[in-house]
Amino acid sequence: MTKSPLSRLIAEQRRRQAGPLILAAAAAVVVGAGSTALLGLSGWFITGAALAGAAGLATAQAFNVLLPSATIRLLAILRTVARYGERLQSHAAALDALAAIRPRLFAALAAAPPREALAVSRGEAAARLVQDVDAVETRFVRLSAPWGAAAGIGMAVALSALAGIGPALAILTAVALHLILARLLTRRLSAPAGAAIQVAAGELKEALAAFAAAAPELKVYGAQGPALDRIAALGDRLDALKVRAARAQGLVGLLEGALTGVAIAAVLALASPASAPLAALAALAAVMAIEAAAPIARAFEQDGAAEAAGERLDALLRYTSVKEAPSSVGRPALRLQGLDLAPGARLALTGPTGSGKTTRLEQLLGLRPAPAGAFALDGQDGAALPPTALRPAFAYAPQDAALLAGTVRENLKLAAPAATDEALWGALEDAALAERVRALPQGLDTWLGEAGERLSGGERRRLSLARALLRDAPWLLLDEPTEGLDPTTEALVVARLDARLRLSGQGLLLVSHRPAPLRLCERAMAVETVSPPAGSAISRRMIEPAKS
C-alpha cells in the first residue's frame, strides 16, 4: 500500500529524529518499569513493616528497613529523572519535526495549481499550518508511550508472578480488556468527535480571520450583529463537539476505573495463598498495569483529530515544490493576442470594470490558466509554459497591495532579497514614498503592522509599486498603480516611473482607468467582455497617448 505524502514526511522526520526518539523511548521504559516497581515495592514494604510491628519487638527489629527504603528512594529518583528526560526528548523531536513540516507544507501550498492555491483563504491556510500540524505533533510525542506502557505492564506481571501465576494472568487479562474496550469506545465515540472538532475549529478560525479583516466595514455599516451571530454559532457547535468528546473521555475513564477495581479484587483473590505483603504487591502492580496502559487508550482518543488533520494536509502535500528557474539572459519579446511587443514596449490594457484586464495580467504570471494562443513569450505559447518559466520575466504590482506583517525593509526585499539599502531607497524615491518612510520612527526597519495597517491605502499601493520596481525583470506589470492618489502625488509617481522605464529599458503592461498613467504607454489594447465560458477576448486597438 502506497504511503500518503504526510506519512512519508512523518517517516522521514522519524528517521531524522531517531536519536532523540530512542532516548525518549529508553526513558519511557525506565519510567514505566520504575513507576510500577516503586508502587509495588512500597505496598510490599508498608504491609510487611506493619505485620512485623504487629508480630512483636523481636520481629520488628529483625525486619530489614534500610534496603527496601533505599530502593524506594532510588526508584523515585530514577522515575523523576527519566520522566523529565522522556518529555524533553520526545517534545524536542516533535518540535524539530514540526519546524521541518510547516515549511514543506507552505511550499506545497505555493506549488499547488493557482486555481486551488488561490482558493485557500487566509483562515483556512492558518488552520492547516497551525491547527492541523499541531495535531500531527501527538504522533511524535506519543511514540515513546508504547515502550513505557510495555515496560510498566511487564514489570507489573513480573511482580505479581511472585504471588503466583494466577495474579499475573489476571493482570494481563485486565490490560487486554482495557485496550480492546477503549479502542472500541473511542472508535465509536471519540474519533468521530475528534474529526468533527478539527473541522469545526478550522471553520471558526476561517470565519474569525474573515470578519477581522472586514472589521472597519462591519463597524461602519453596523453589521457586527450578523458577524457575531455567525461566530457564536460556530463557537457553539465547536463547544458542543468538545462536550461530546469529553463525555467519550469520561466513559473511557469510567471503564478504566471499573477494570482497575475488578483487577484488584481478582488479583487479591488469586494471591490469597501467598503472604499478605506479596498480595499487596500484586494488587498495587495491577493498579500500575492499568495505569501504564492508559496513555495508549488516551492516544486512541486523538486518532480522529489526527486522521482528519492528515487528510487535510495530504490534500496539499501531494504537490511538490519546484525551485524557480533563474531569469533568462536578455529581454524576451511578448506577443499578446496577435500584437507583437518588442522588449521595452509599453502597452495599456483598457476596458470596463470586470472585462478581464487583471485576469490577463494574472495569466501572464501563471496565477490563472491561460487558453492556448492567449500570449507567447519569446515565441513560446504561454499556455504551455510552467509558472517557473513565466515569472522571472515579470515584476508585478497588483491592484490589492498585499503586505506582510513586518518592516518596510522586509516587505521590499520580497522582490529582491539581496537588494542594498541604496536600491531600496531608490525604489521608494521612484514610488514617491521615500520621504514618508524617512519620517517613520525606524525608517526602513519600522514595523508596519498586520497587512501594513500603519500606512494609508495609497501608501500601501506605492510600497507595492516600489517592491515591483526592485525586481530585475524585463517586463513590469502594473494594475491600477495610482488608484487612490491625489493628482499631485499621481503626477509625481507617473513622472518618476517614466524616467525609470527610460533608464532601465523595461517594458510595461499597464491596467488603469486614470488618464495620467495611461499617457505612459504608446499603445493600448481594449479588453472586451464576452459571454462565458470563453472568458474575455482582447481586441487590438491603437490609440494616441494624447487621447488617453
- Mark whether 9 and 155 lie in a shared domain: yes
**Is 424 among the domain residues?**
no
Measure CA 268 to chain center.
Answer: 51
Residue 276 — φ and ψ, nearest 5°? -60, -45
Instruction: Flag residues of the chain having pLDDT under 70.
Output: 1-2, 56, 58-64, 115-131, 135, 137-141, 303-305, 320-330, 528-548
d(CA 97, CA 9): 9
**Whole-number pLDDT of residue 236:** 92
pLDDT at position 488: 92
Cα Rg, the chain, nearest whole Å: 34
Whole-Å CA distances, 114 to 118, 121, 418:
6, 13, 27
Residue 303 and residue 186 in one domain: yes
Is 25 in the same domain as 86? Answer: yes
CA-wise closest residue to 394 among 477, 324, 500, 332: 477
The answer on 236 and 132 residing in a single domain is yes
Asked if 278 contacts 163 with a C-beta cutoff of 8 angstroms, the reply is: yes
83 vs 85: CA distance, rounded Å:
5
Considering the domain architecture, whether residues 305 and 346 belong to the same structural domain is answered as no
Q: What was the pLDDT predicted at 427?
A: 92
- 123 domain residue, yes or no: yes
Residues 256 and 350 in one domain: no
For 353, the grid coordinates are: 470594470
What residue type is assigned to position 388 of the chain? T
What is the per-residue pLDDT for 429?
Answer: 92
Answer yes or no: do 381 and 306 share one domain.
no
| Model confidence pLDDT, tens digit, residues 251-270 | 888 888 888 899 889 988 99
Q: Which residue in this structure is represented by grid cell 470596463?
A: 352
Residue-by-residue DSSP string for 460-471:
HHHHHHHHHHHS
| Percent of the chain at pLDDT exceeding 90 | 12
Strand partners, 529: 536
Euclidean distance between CA atoms 480 and 115, whole angstroms: 23
DSSP symbol at 189: I
**Can you give the pLDDT at residue 62?**
65
Q: What's the rounded Cα separation, in Å, for the pair 543 and 356?
A: 19
Contacts of 117 (CB under 8 A, 6+ apart): 109, 110, 111
CATH number, domain with residue 156: 1.20.1560.10
Last-in-domain residue among 256, 291, 317: 317
Q: How far is CA 89 from CA 75, 147, 313, 339, in A?
A: 21, 14, 25, 63
Vertex 508: Cα angle to 506 and 512 (nearest 5): 155
Helices marked H in 271-402: 276-301, 303-317, 357-364, 387-390
Task: Dump pLDDT digits (tens) for 436-494.
Answer: 999 888 888 888 887 777 888 888 999 999 999 999 889 999 998 988 888 999 999 99
Q: Which grid cell is 208?
A: 474569525
Task: Identify the domain containing residue 512 by its residue range.
Answer: 334-403+453-547
Q: Has residue 470 been placed in a domain?
A: yes
**486 with 431: CB under 8 angstroms?**
no
- Which of 285, 317, 349 terminates a domain? The answer is 317
C-alpha–C-alpha distance, residues 511 and 480, integer Å:
6
The reply to whether 89 falls in a domain is yes
Domain count, the chain: 2
56 and 144 together in one domain: yes
Question: What is residue 508's predicted lDDT score, i.e. its pLDDT?
Answer: 92
Do residues 248 and 340 both lie within one domain?
Answer: no
Q: Are 159 and 285 in contact (CB under 8 A)?
A: yes
pLDDT of 59: 64
Helices (H), strands (E): how many in the chain?
A: 22, 10
pTM of the model: 0.65
Enumerate the β-bridge partners of residue 528: 537
CB atoms within 10 A of CB 246: 12
Half-sphere exposure of residue 389: CA atoms within 13 angstroms, side-chain side: 11
Distances (CA, A) of 394 to 240, 329, 371: 50, 13, 19
Query: What is the CATH number for 352?
Result: 3.40.50.300
Closest CA to 451 of 443, 442, 459: 459
β-strand partners of 339: 336
433 within domain boundaries: no
Cell of 373: 494562443
Give the whole-angstrom CA distance, residue 347 versus residue 345.
7
Does one domain contain both 77 and 226? Answer: yes
Nearest to 494 by CA among 506, 485, 505, 503: 485
**Are 369 and 289 contained in the same domain?**
no
